[in-house]
Amino acid sequence: MNLPNKLTIFRIILIPFFILILAIPTTMGVMQVGGTVLTGSRLLAALVFIVASLTDFLDGQIARRNHLVTNFGKFADPLADKMLVMTAFIFLVELNMAPAWVVAIIVCRELAVTGLRLIIVENDGQVLAAAWPGKIKTTTQMLAIIFLLLNNVFFAAINLPLGEIMLYICLFFTVYSGIDYFVKNRSIFSDSF
């Protein structure tokens, strides 16, 4: 197994740790910066999420640079992203840090594109690799999650709700990239009309 695929598997392995950190109440410290409160568990969860997100960036860079792109990587990399991001968004709803309707749209888009990927594999035998709009979507989702978990701690002094702003930016790119995937692959449904 090559290094990019190992990084993808490592990202998947980090997900249960991320879940445990947020799910199990801890007595970890609380920090206050300006008027913003940040619990130690959210800080630790954000750090785990950042490490996992960095593996997403690294595995793609290494795979393309060293010509190590594999069907497993094309399949597992976006799956790992979806698992990580959807887990985080579900916890953000539970923590009252993201509206459920936004997360529902994001989850529905992820499931729809995953279904599209399965149909394309079944019909063409090809794995649908992530396109640029999908990569922008993933980046904005990850940034939104990080800033929300950190409770806008770095921007409290100027009262800039960057986490919330990034959430709506990622919602836009989530919807846009979903439409892009379906429009570019509409021929797969040509037998339906």
Domain ranges of the chain: 3-186
Mean pLDDT highest for which of 34-38, 143-147, 150-154, 181-185? Answer: 143-147
27 pLDDT more than 60:
no
The pTM is what? Answer: 0.86
Predicted pLDDT of residue 45: 92
The sign of the torsion formed by the CA atoms of 19, 22, 27, 32 equals positive
Q: How far apart are CA 185 and CA 190, in angstroms?
A: 10
Strand 36-39 and strand 30-33: the pairing is antiparallel
Lowest mean per-residue pLDDT among 98-107, 111-120, 172-181: 111-120
Lowest mean per-residue pLDDT among 50-59, 114-123, 176-185: 114-123
Tell me the sheet residues that pair with 31: 38
What are the strands, taking DSSP E only, across 105-178?
none
Would you identify the CATH topology of the domain 3-186?
Four Helix Bundle (Hemerythrin (Met), subunit A) (1.20.120)
Other residues' Cβ atoms within 10 Å of the Cβ of residue 44: 17
Residue tagged 């968004």 (tokens): 89
The sign of the torsion formed by the CA atoms of 91, 96, 98, 101 equals positive
